[in-house]
Amino acid sequence: MIRKLQIALGVIQAFVALGALPAGFSMIVQPDGSGLGMTTKFLLESPFTNFFIPGLFLFFVNGLANLTVSILTFRRNKHSGRLGLILGFMLVGWIAIQVWSTGYISFMQPLFFGIGLAEIILAYLILKNSGPE
């Protein structure tokens, strides 16, 4: 059972990474949001004047970290459950802060909130079924 949980978590983490890496990169190199068809008007109620800082978080945390941890998860690394739990909470927090500061913009916000919850649940189940270390 734990192997199926690890595969499911690894797939979700890779999916998050594959979406976050190009979007985050675009925000870093085009902080006005134009590369993603967005405008800085989305940020009027947020603490940011452009997408550079959110792009860094998106690229490194939701992108590279999820990609790295997905590899660890597929390799059955003993830390993948804990790391998956952390990344799940970070994704849920990212979306919650995004909706709080910019409002509801896209169906992708609740979708990725749900994906973050799935990461949390799967990581918890992996930890619960791993036994003592």
The per-residue pLDDT for range 55-72, each reduced to its tens digit, is 999 999 999 999 999 999
Q: Whole-prediction pTM value?
A: 0.91
Residue carrying the six token digits 């990725």: 112
What single-letter amino acid sits at 54?
A: P
pLDDT per residue as tens digits for the range 25-46: 999 999 999 999 999 998 888 8
Domain count within the chain: 1
- Measured CA to CA, the distance from residue 45 to residue 55 in angstroms comes to 17
Look up the domain containing 21 and give its range: 2-130
- Measured CA to CA, the distance from residue 116 to residue 19 in angstroms comes to 13
Which residues have C-beta within 8 Å of that of residue 4, sequence separation ≥ 6?
Answer: none
State the pLDDT confidence band at 1, using cuts at 50, 70 and 90: confident
- In order, the DSSP letters of 30-42 are -TTSGGGT--GGG
